[in-house]
Structure 1
Amino acid sequence: MNELVLECQALCKQYQDGKQTVEVFKDINFSLHKGQACAIVGASGSGKTTLLNLLAGLDLATSGEVKLTQISWSNLSDAKRAKVRNQQMGFVYQFHHLLAEFSALENVLMPMWISGMKKSEAKQRGIELLTQVGLSERLYHKPSQLSGGERQRVAIARALANRPACVLMDEPTGNLDELTSLEVQNLINTLKTTYQMAFLIVTHDEKMLDWMDSAYRLSQGELTSLK
């Protein structure tokens, strides 16, 4: 078995609504290994994004544990969690969240600048990544000058900037047409193989399950294995 990258054990999340305790998740167990692509599917409102936030250390569980490369989120301060995320995790969202005033290349360079990488080294890697995702001729275009699929490719390149152990994707094809969605899926699959990174994709699109190494359904606070 490949190296374990991301796992949660007996994960539980509760909120207080006045005097009432609302249980969002109960006893969720999950693991993701190096070079694997995994999907979590579920209906709107099932808690997919909340679960992603727990796995990313953006929110903390009520009980249970989440580990990224054997590091437990609950043992870290906010500042240390942010540093680990910058170095070990990449993020891709449905609406890409690119900075409008910066070029495609500058958007990709941002995580590397934050991590303290030398500017010359960061620029070389940024160009390599944008070339890898098919945007060598769009380096200096701003997001408004790019198509939806191109913007999502920039977001994927940015997610890979610091060679993370794991890339989390929240509905990465949800805002794309069918053809562009398929192109992005093929790109993710190629990058997974090329870089041997772990990809966790939260989606409502069950067509994506065909090429996943593993898949789960999130329903009523429980995670059920699909493959």
Structure 2
Amino acid sequence: MTRREALGGGPGWRQVLAPAAALGLGGAVLVAIVVVARNTGGSSPPPEPGAMVMPVGAAYAAFTIERVEGANLAVAGSDGARLVAIPPATPVWLLEPATLGDALAGLPVAVIGVPNEVRNATLRAVVIGVGGATPGFVAGPFAGHEVWGEANALPLVSGTVSRVEEGGRLVILTAAGEAEVWVSAGAPLLVAREGSFDEVQPGDRVAVPRGADGGLDPSRGILVWPGD
């Protein structure tokens, strides 16, 4: 049994969630999830949306862990191979497969996707945070997608869990009101939980925030996607 299967995810999870560019996935990664905004105030029509705006530059770097050397991670990624020193007491968040039963009221949640120029998006996953998070994020300074290293991925819908209704309907309270997410069996649903550095292993994916100077700043925390 692989470590991912022991965590509750089958061997197909990496293929489902890794970036499309890396694994050749088509645009139907999350056909099981449909997001619909719910008008919560008045009868005024919603404003005409503007063009999708792609994020400029990433405030984090993503790597594959090759070795764990004491408090250092030997990693490789688009920035090349390097040794990243992890300060004591650095917060560690781990992504794991989840169910709608993990979507408790009040928890932060984000629907991750990749927007395009036609006001559309390819959805990637729904991520629920169960540990401490900066407002607007699900795990510390992370929205949940950073570990995949997909530069254009971002939260399309974010807020807190309002409730889970029959039929796999997840209702999210956002700054603009409620949004509904229909999650059917097999849709990529993840939980970001607080863990420890001792749980980090070679083969895991890790995201590290960047500081104001563009350099890595792991003291703010790291996000880990366990390998097989």
Q: TM-score, structure 2 length as denominator?
A: 0.24
Q: TM-score, structure 1 length as denominator?
A: 0.24
Between structures 1 and 2, the one with greater helix share:
1
